[in-house]
Structure 1
């Protein structure tokens, strides 16, 4: 009996004879770039995946096609989200895809999987501090938002809004004229260099807001949908942050022209924050008769809580939200 090892194969000749032919030696392993080796060693997952994709020279469309040939269906958008840190592979099929990615991209076994760690807990009993809302859920009525965010490469900028302070000023017609925002931000991963801002309005016929001033950052790309209206902006930080580092960013928006009277102002939170302060200054000629402090699960959802807020003699109202969880926090008012 002849034993055939892994290095030997059987060949059928034209005469029907069978010959034992040594298999060719496997090609030597591809030498990985230093940047990729460093990312595989230190993470995070998205940095390693991005470096691996660039080193392979393959497009995401080609990678998706090769995964599909292996029976794993993953969209190009999902691959892009993984690569940019927008989301992480959590489901069993997604983890299987990562295993195949290691093979397709020439990465050592477990090189990517080891950077994922254990699956994140899900469900209603998850500790409140770990809750994170998908941006699309927070702004679920805005169908064009995912595309606008995709054009900027990511919806998760890797920044925790530790504290936020929004100060609105309204004009004599009751429309927003100016917004000054101060943010205390903390990086949740390595190499964070930008802050993504989502702005929505109430009047599609009005001109889009303009950034009048930005501090500790500079304005990057802008994407908008005037039919909503909706604006997505990126602000490049003055320096790249490591995980745990903090920075302060301040910007002022000017709302040109005029439009329908505003009925609310507020901010959406994907993850829990520590403090949110919201104030609005009404024009002396346009002071509402009632103002409410509201919390809801989404930007356009019905409030789960609404409490009256005092409007001062100077026409000012404010609300302080301590430890706001994921969702939308706002001031809403009635003109009549």
Structure 2
């Protein structure tokens, strides 16, 4: 049975072109930097994001944590949004791997009060640690942060001689929403993590980009973290297609999310979170206690969603058609109106 899977764009499967490229890919030992396809991919992604070098790692969590590990020393402080992926969805990795202290700053849908941001930056004293890094996220859940905001955060960081890391897991979605090249965003960060296995559809991988000096150090730290891989040209082959081609079709996912939103609005009681409607996600709620069993009902009907956790999040992606969206939302309508 083929399920209509609205849980996340992480469920995308490699395209036929990716699978064929993987089968034919020449390979080499990447720990020795002998995998030419991977070298090419890392250089390519660094170039389109306006950085000097890149390094491939297995996941977004690995990439973010590698960045913190490479930017910081033990006991340094990292300022990060209280709801950021680094805080909420990386299994408490930061103090385990990097021995850093996270300062979680409350935001309004990813937008900090920048006066507060500047006030919480610490200088080393006998009693306090020092702030070393500021982490921002764009896209932030379903919201895209504006360029002028990123520029202001970056300016504050440089004023205090701090580095900025951008968790750009869905940076190509954000760039699509803003109708700009991704490098227009990444110029406001020293390092950037970009995921290849979400909406871009590659089977595995994230690339961390930054200066050559930073990536050289990150390559050693990747080995320490157990991320040294061998014949991974097969992954580079799929990833290159993901970036070159799949990034150009993300507007379709965004249009499909808008279509989904329109269908959901027709269901009495549904409330759309309009603050998170910039990319391929629709967040919504309904004042109906039946919502707590919606995931179980839909699963029996051939639709996968995440359980209700204060809000529903439905995600469009390459493997979902408009026809399937209509089927899924009709089931949601039938469930709540029955």
More helix by share: 2
Q: TM-score, normalised by structure 1?
A: 0.22
Q: Between Structure 1 and Structure 2, which shows a larger proportion of strand residues? A: 1
Name the structure, 1 or 2, with higher relative contact order (CA <8 Å, separation 6+): 2
